Amino acid sequence: MEAAKEIITKLDLQMAERPLGNPYFRDPDVKSFQFQKKTFFPVRPISSGRQLAFVDGGNLELLGAPNFSVQLNRIYSCIWKNNARRIVLKVPQIEFFSAIYSSMIEDEIVFNTIIVPTAEEFSRFLPDSSDLVVRYSERSIDNGAGRVDTSRVASMARNFAEWRFAEKLAASLEPDDVLVLDGSLQTQFQNEWKYFRNLEDATKKNGVILTSLSKTSTLFTDTGLSLLGAISQFATNQDVKGEWYHPIFESQKHHVFGVIVKLKSVSEWVFRLDFQLDQFKQLDEDKVNEILSLFCANSSDPTFPGYPYGSIDADLFSRVSKDEIDYYRALISSQISALDKQGRFVPHIRASDAHNLLNTIAGF
User: Looking at residue 188, which CATH number applies to its domain?
Assistant: 3.30.2170
Per-residue pLDDT reduced to its tens digit, 278-297? 999 999 999 999 999 999 99
Tens of pLDDT along 168-227? 999 999 999 999 999 999 998 889 999 999 999 999 999 999 999 998 888 999 999 899
Single pTM value for the model? 0.89
Query: What three-state secondary structure class fits 28?
Result: coil
What is the tens place of the pLDDT at every residue in 315-355? 999 988 877 887 887 787 787 778 776 766 666 665 566 55
* In-domain check, residue 15: no
Question: Does residue 180 sit in the same domain as residue 73?
Answer: yes
pLDDT single digits (tens) 247-267: 999 999 999 999 999 999 999
Per-residue pLDDT, averaged over 95-112, amounts to 88
297 and 195 share one domain: yes
Find, among 213, 187, 210, the residue nearest to 279 by Cα. Answer: 210
Please name which of 97, 132, 100, 146 lies closest in space to residue 117, comparing C-alpha atoms.
Answer: 97
Which range marks the domain in which residue 339 is found?
329-362
259 assigned to some structural domain: yes
Residues 333 and 251 in one domain: no
Is there a single domain that holds both residue 93 and residue 228?
yes
What's the whole-number mean pLDDT along residues 84-97?
A: 85
- In a domain, residue 356? The reply is yes
Q: What is the pLDDT of residues 35-56, one digit of tens each?
A: 999 999 999 989 899 999 999 9
The pLDDT of 6-33, averaged and rounded, is: 88
For residue 275, is pLDDT > 70?
Answer: yes
User: What pLDDT score does 91 carry?
Assistant: 84
- The mean of the pLDDT values for the chain is 88
Q: How far apart are CA 236 and CA 267, in angstroms?
A: 12
User: In total, how many domains does the chain have?
Assistant: 2
Select the more confidently predicted residue: 26 or 360. Answer: 26
Do both 228 and 248 map to the same domain?
Answer: yes
Sign, CA torsion 159/162/164/170: negative
Residues 302 and 352 in one domain: no
